Structure 1
Amino acid sequence: MYWKIAAVLGLSAAAVTLVEYFLYLQRLKLKEVEKLRALERVIFFDDTLQNCREHLTTENSCGDSCSFKKLSYLIARIDDCLSTLDLCMFLMTCHNLSSALARAVERGVKVRMLYDHDMAGNTHNYGCQIRWLRRHGVEVRTRPYAHHMHHKFVVLDGRLAITGSANWTLQAFCGNWENVVVTADPRLVHQFADTFQELWDMFTEALPESA
């Protein structure tokens, strides 16, 4: 009889331990979600930032509204990336962001990029960073098509997405009226991730390192 009671008590203790462990995991998950949601932002750029173009070169900020200060937030998200980074971009000429992608590759992050075919082949696109990125280990795909690959979004570690109106260009960040949205909403992030993978499977033409 006593052994039966002991067995029941042992099972009860094990059940309590499992419940406590489950609750512990839930708390960890909630903390991780809260940490990610705290990264969410809407960032605006406008024509008053034209004088900040030189700050992207010197990497010195003139204040909270400075283009480089705003851009630094996006760079920090790339620098925080641990495993995968998937990027769709119509046009890219901003070396600050290109350098952040190259650093990610050096850390062992798998960086994949989809790029518009016309923009990739346009030698008159001053400052186009695509072949520089190829030389630094970014896998780039494109596809000849009658229409443009006009997306501007990036998915980091499958947990964070950055999107908006802006191409990653100096003009976008230092002259245009643009917006950039950083979201950790899993419903949105998963849709961006799924769309990237669908396009990745469609865009089978690998961009060479040099023309």
Structure 2
Amino acid sequence: MSMLWSVRVGLGVVALSLSVEVFVWLYHRLRPARTLNEVLFFPSEVSCVENLFKASSPHSCHCPLPHRVETSFSRLLCHLLSASSSLDLCIFAFSNLDLSRAVLALHSRGVTIRVLADQDYSVITGSQIGVLRKAGICVRGHVGSVHMHHKFAVVDGRLLITGSLNWTLTAVQNNVENIIITHEPDLVLPFIKEFQRLWVQSEPDWCHFLSN
């Protein structure tokens, strides 16, 4: 009887162990993927971001800025550079050289890029819109009696980057600003629709003079 009891207990332990393993396996298989929700605040700490653009050793850049420091700006660049298929950018002011470099890097990798810009602000000194256009990136100017004041990007049709931040050096380093980054479909989809609505309404030939 004692031996039979021991066998039963042993089998019970094994069954319980297997049940736990099956439960854990099912949990990891069936649970929904974690949705990304991230908030970034500015001004951002100034640091070197060279490592984000190329695989380099920590000592390959000799600039005086701190290296390999995670900041709000480096996080923004990482999310932007994560694009693998498409980037739709709707931006009022765009003069930040590192953000321009990121968009150009995506273009060189074959990512499909569409940029929607405010007509008036795109031609001011320092604007990177003409640079993007000359690189062959599709750019359209918003047509209307009011400014196109949006500041958002949709990465791969599923990641939204939006907030108060203009893509300028002053906004990144000096202004109190915010950015929200999310995969939430209920938030991403309205921005996709808004981009498409403005894209259709905007002037496809307006940007040709930026190449001159």
In structure 1, the partner of 2:167 is 168
In structure 1, the partner of 2:41 is 44
In structure 2, the partner of 1:95 is 97
* 4+ aligned runs moved over 6 Å, structure 1: none
Output the CA distance in 2 between the equivalents of 1:100 and 1:28: 36
Amino acid at match of 1:142: G
SS at 2:93 equivalent? coil
Runs of 5+ in structure 2 lacking a partner?
Answer: 1-25, 51-62
Indicate conservation of the 8 Å contact 2:49/2:68, yes or no: no
Output the CA distance in 2 between the equivalents of 1:135 and 1:29: 46
Q: Residue 145 and residue 70 in structure 1: after superposition, are their counterparts in 2 closer, same or farther (change >3 A)? A: same
Residue by residue over 1:152-179, the C-alpha shift from the partner in whole angstroms, topping out at 9 and shown as x without a partner, is 0000111100000010000001111100
SS at 1:153 equivalent? strand
Residue-pair matches, total: 172
Give the greater-gyration-radius structure (CA): 2
Runs of 5+ in structure 1 lacking a partner?
Answer: 1-23
TM-score, normalised to structure 1, is 0.72
- Whether 1:205 and 2:207 are equivalent positions in the alignment is no
Amino acid at match of 2:175: N
Q: Report percent identity of matched pairs.
A: 37
SS at 2:32 equivalent? helix
- Spell out the pairing of 1:42-121 with structure 2 (5 A cutoff): 42-46=39-43, 52=46, 55=48, 58=63, 60-61=65-66, 69-121=71-123
In structure 2, the partner of 1:140 is 139
SS at 1:197 equivalent? helix
- Spell out the pairing of 1:18-33 with structure 2 (5 A cutoff): 27=29, 30-31=32-33
TM-score, normalised to structure 2, is 0.72
Indicate conservation of the 8 Å contact 1:155/1:161, yes or no: yes
SS at 1:200 equivalent? helix
SS at 1:86 equivalent? strand
Q: Residue 30 and residue 120 in structure 1: after superposition, are their counterparts in 2 closer, same or farther (change >3 A)? A: same
Residue by residue over 1:7-54, the C-alpha shift from the partner in whole angstroms, topping out at 9 and shown as x without a partner, is xxxxxxxxxxxxxxxxx9x948933xx1xx24x2111113x85xx3x8
Output the CA distance in 2 between the equivalents of 1:87 and 1:159: 13
